[in-house]
Amino acid sequence: MVVPLGRARPYHLIVRILVVEDDIDLADIIARVLRRDGHAVDVSHTTATSGMKLVSAEYDLVALDWNLPDGSGMDLCRRLVGGDLETFGEVRPRVLMVTARDDIEDRVAGLDGGADDYLVKPFDMQELSARVRALLRRDEHAATPVLEVGGLVLDPSRFEATLDGRLLQLTSKEFALLHFFMVNPGEVLSQETLLEHVWDEMADPFTNVVRVTISNLRKKLDSADLIETVSGRGYRLVTNRREDD
C-alpha cells in the first residue's frame, strides 16, 4: 500500500520535522537552524529510533541521511513511501535526503526511491531552509483558513494576527501558540498538551517556557483575560469576550 500524497493534508500551522543524522554535531546544527525558522524539530541518529518516532508522532517532513550506523536511510525512505512503515499521521511526511553521496546515480536512485528532494553535503544552511520551505509549499493547495474568535483574527497564510483590528507583533512561537488556542477555542489545554503540539520532544516538561510564552502573549494582546488560567488544569482561550471589555 502506497501512502497517498495527492490529497490535501489536514491543515495545521505547526510544522514538525524529524532530522535523521548520525553525525551528532551536524544533527544539532540542522535542528537549531530549523527551530530558528519556527519549526518543531526532533532528532534521531539511527534507523531504529527513527522508525519508532515515525509511528509515535506526526511529522510533516523527514530530513534523512543515507548512511546510518544500523542500516540505510534509503531503505527507510522506501519503507516509508511504500507504506511498509505505518506512520502516526494519515499522510506520510515529505522526505528530503541529506547525504554526502553526490554521484548522479545516487541522486537518481534517491529520487526514484521515493525522496521528494535531494541535498548533497556539504551544503549551506540557507539552502537547507529554502529546500524545506519549497517542500512544505507543495501543500499550499490545502486549506489555510482564517480563524476568528471574538475580536481575534488569525491568518496563517499571511502570518498575521489582529485583535479588534490592531496588528499583533508576535514571534513565531507566540503565533503558533495563539493558533493552537484558536483551533481549540474554549478547551482547557494542559501544559503537557501545549508542549507536545507547539514545541517538540526537546522541550523540558518541567520548564516554565509555556508560562513565559503565555505571559508574553498576554502582554501583546494587552489583556490577561483572553487566555484564562484554569487552576491545576491549564489554560483556555475565552470565546465569549465582548469587544468593549
pLDDT digits (tens, 9 = 90+) for 16-32: 899 999 999 999 999 99
Residue 128 has what pLDDT? 95
pLDDT bucket at 147, cuts 50 / 70 / 90: confident
pTM for this entry:
0.64
Q: Is the dihedral of CA 52, 30, 201, 161 positive or negative?
A: negative
User: Which residues does 180 contact at the CB level (< 8 Å), separation at least 6?
Assistant: 13, 14, 189, 194, 197, 198
Span 55-86, pLDDT tens digits: 888 898 999 999 999 999 999 999 988 888 88
Q: What is the mean pLDDT of residues 199-225?
A: 81
Q: Output the nine-digit C-alpha cell for 52.
A: 519508532
* Domain regions of the chain by residue span: 16-137, 147-237
Residue 4 has what pLDDT? 36
Residue 115 has what pLDDT? 94
Check whether 136 has a pLDDT greater than 90.
no
What's domain 147-237's architecture?
Orthogonal Bundle (1.10)
Check whether 8 has a pLDDT greater than 50.
no
Q: Which strands make up the sheet holding 166-167, listed edge to edge?
A: 147-149, 152-155, 160-163, 166-167
3-class state of residue 232 by DSSP: coil
Pick from 59, 202, 78: which is nearest to 136 by CA?
59
- Note the helical H segments in 13-92: 24-36, 47-56, 73-82
Q: Is 145 exposed, middle or buried (0-12, 13-18, 19+ CB in 10 A)?
A: exposed
Residue predicted with more confidence, 167 or 140: 167
Q: Output the nine-digit C-alpha cell for 83.
A: 507504506
Is domain 16-137 given the CATH code 3.30.479.30 in the classification? Answer: no
Check whether 229 has a pLDDT greater than 70.
yes
Phi and psi at 45, nearest 5°, equal -115, 0
Span 75-131, pLDDT tens digits: 999 998 888 888 877 778 999 999 999 999 999 999 999 999 999 999 999 999 999
Least confident of 2-16, 51-65, 127-141: 2-16
The Cα 147–Cα 2 span in angstroms is 33
Domains 16-137 and 147-237 fall in the same CATH topology: no
